[in-house]
Amino acid sequence: MPTPTRVPQEERTRVMRARLLEATVELLVERGFGGTSTTLVSERAGVSRGAQLHHFPTKNALVVAAVEHLTEVRGAELAAAASALPAGGRRTRAVLQVLADHFTSPVFTAALELWVAARTDPALMEAVAPLEQRVGREVHRLTVELLEADEARPGVRELVQATLDLVRGLGLADTITDDARRRDGVLDRWADVLDKELP
Amino acid sequence: MPTPTRVPQEERTRVMRARLLEATVELLVERGFGGTSTTLVSERAGVSRGAQLHHFPTKNALVVAAVEHLTEVRGAELAAAASALPAGGRRTRAVLQVLADHFTSPVFTAALELWVAARTDPALMEAVAPLEQRVGREVHRLTVELLEADEARPGVRELVQATLDLVRGLGLADTITDDARRRDGVLDRWADVLDKELP
């Protein structure tokens, strides 16, 4: 007779936290910051109110942890996509596609909800600003690496920053109208420019 | 003895509408979409609830009209800034500055609040999407004109679009952290690229 399976407490806690954070991201995407409440999150995650409040005592704690969690998940996905990139002439365009996919994904939408809410909520801003800076640095570092760009050369750093501002702008446009075709044309053109400007 | 001044009804209505719309934009910028209510707007504008509801029966009607109004005001400002642009080598950078100023102004912030709210509010989206398309076309047309770009040439249209996606991305970044210095460097570099790519 097999020994009954025992899931250690630590593992159960980890799974419950992940369920809460994923439910929060889903609600941010579906209903926006204003439409997301801790009650809805605990219902959707199937976690008791008590357990939820123990881990995340406020809505702000929950939404910041959720976007941080999703950022980590997407970071791992980005790294995986990066390892599958082609070499040679098509590489730049493929890198831009990876970035654009990231900035039109649910992680961007959830983060956008958080950014906009934080703009008029100082307590939330205090938590969001450091997260945003850390994520910004990380995505910049990854982009430099993927583009094989040499930031010691003058103008290269600004071109990498411009690339990220561009995909951020494309991400914002995408939340209003699905403009995947227009986006493709812009990215094709920008890849041409980068191939000329980044030796 | 002078005749008592009589303000015609039409003029009084126009002034009252403008006061309501300006109060709405202020509240969107200060408190966000969620923190803006028709009651707060009528208080701030000093307009009775009855008169306000007569002109704008719902919050959605009010916020859409407010962003439309502000867009018109800023459009006139953009056109004025455009007429003062230098010719020659510094022109491209000056055009980018005009655009970046536009996308980091209260009109952008108020529009951002509206876009994000509309994402999860189908009734609001129905009103916002056509406004957004109209404004987008208008800003595109103006940018082509200011950059003296010839869209008949291949790749020019996409570069103009990329420029607007870039400044939209810069505008979004600016709502989280004041990054005016970083923005200057990015715009300098982008101007170099445009001067090479737009003959």
What is the ipTM, given to two decimal places?
0.90
Name the residue facing A169 among B132, B169, B192 (closest C-beta).
B169
Residues B70-106 have pLDDT tens digits of 888 878 888 888 888 887 778 999 999 999 999 999 8
Pick B181 or A4 by higher pLDDT. B181
Model pLDDT for residues A155-165, shown as the tens digit of each residue = 999 999 999 99
Residue with tokens 């970046």: B100
- Residue whose pair of structure tokens reads 């446009």 in the numeric block: A173
Residue A165 with chain B: CB contacts under 8 Å: 166, 169-170, 173, 186
Domains of chain B and CATH, by start: 9-197 (1.10.357.10)
Q: Decide: helix, strand or coil at residue A85.
A: coil
User: Tokens standing for A89?
Assistant: 């002439």
Q: How far apart are CA A141 and CA A153, in angstroms?
A: 16
Could you give the CA distance from residue A15 to residue A48 in angstroms, rounded to a whole number?
Answer: 14
The pLDDT value given to residue A84: 86
Q: Which residue has the tokens 């929060």?
A: A24
Chain A residues touching B109 at Cβ < 8 A? 119
Distance CA A42, CA A34 (A): 16
Q: Under 8 Å CB-to-CB from A20, ≥6 apart: which residues? A: A41, A42, A45, A47, A52, A55, A56, A62, A66
Query: How far is residue A36 CA from its own chain's centroid?
Result: 18
Report the amino acid identity of residue A170.
L
Contact (CB<8Å) A175/B115: yes
Vertex A118 angle, CA A113 and A123, to 5°: 140
C-beta separation of A166 from B186 below 8 A: no
Residue A150, token pair as written in the block: 């040499």
Q: Determine contact: A198 vs chain B, CB below 8 A.
A: no
